[in-house]
Structure 1
């Protein structure tokens, strides 16, 4: 596997991880007990910390990309392993 492929996979996994972990740990102003600014949406976050989000997404994406690359090298799980159609359509013995 080329290094450019690994970087591209890491970037895709990082984006997905960032979007999935975005709502965790966020509180609205009502939940945090902070006064809202006039005109502010009720759902606006009061404690958004982008640095924490970047670190969390980077660590998780690095681990997931590492597992993906190791699976590519050693072939632990392949298309033949996950053939659900064959398992579901097999006649019982």
Structure 2
């Protein structure tokens, strides 16, 4: 696998990991800590930390990529078999 293909696959895993990370981020709502600001949703997190979200996304994407790469190297995820060419 070329390094550009690996980078593209890792980027896809990184973007898709947002769907797994964001629902678990900010479990405490704004009502718990501070009064609501005009226009603020009651379910919005009290403090949004984008750096923490990016770190969690990177960890999830790295684990998923390692699993995929292991399957690719061992032939478990052979592109020819998956597309029906073999």
TM-score, length of structure 1 as denominator length: 0.72
Q: Note the aligned Cα RMSD (angstroms).
A: 1.9
Q: Which residue of 2 aligns with 1:59?
A: 59
TM-score, length of structure 2 as denominator length: 0.77
Q: Which has the higher helix share?
A: 2
| Distance in 2 of aligned mates of 1:68 and 1:39 | 43
Q: Which residue of 2 aligns with 1:47?
A: 47
Q: Which runs of 5+ in 2 are unaligned?
A: none
**Range 32-41 or range 61-70, more displaced:** 32-41
Report which of the two structures shows the higher radius of gyration computed on alpha carbons.
1
Runs of 4 or more consecutive aligned structure 1 residues displaced over 3 Å after TM superposition: 76-80
